[in-house]
Amino acid sequence: MKTIILTHAAARDLDKLPSEARSQVIDALDHYAISGDGDVKKLKDRDGFRLRVGSYRVIFAEDAMTILAVYIGRRATTTYKRS
């Protein structure tokens, strides 16, 4: 199992989500950290990955032991431009 770390910005993003969406995102992150399964793709033209949870996206980086979530929010034209 990998350790999940949220940046300060990602934690704020998660707090702003509706409660149902928040629990879905947390469950999806936990499932990915435990099993490595999920709708995950490598980002083009930059480092990192995205986890799709319905209409929400989690932008993250990972190594052998940790997942560092950088952004959590709805899919929009600016989603992948954020750091």
CATH number at residue 10: 3.30.2310.20
DSSP line for the chain: -PEEEE-HHHHHHHHHS-HHHHHHHHHHHHHHHHH--SSEEEPTTSS-EEEEETTEEEEEEE-SSEEEEEEEEE--TTGGG--
Contact indicator for 25, 15 with CB cutoff of 8 Å: no
What is the span of the domain harbouring residue 25? 3-76
User: How does pLDDT run across 50-66, given as a tens digit for each residue?
Assistant: 999 999 999 999 999 99
Q: CA 20 from chain center: how many Å? A: 16
Q: Are strands 40-42 and 49-53 parallel, antiparallel or unpaired?
A: antiparallel
Model pTM score: 0.87
Is residue 54 included in any domain, yes or no?
A: yes
User: How does pLDDT run across 22-55, given as a tens digit for each residue?
Assistant: 999 999 999 999 999 999 999 998 899 999 999 9
Is residue 63 included in any domain, yes or no?
A: yes
Is residue 82 included in any domain, yes or no?
A: no
Count the domains in the chain: 1
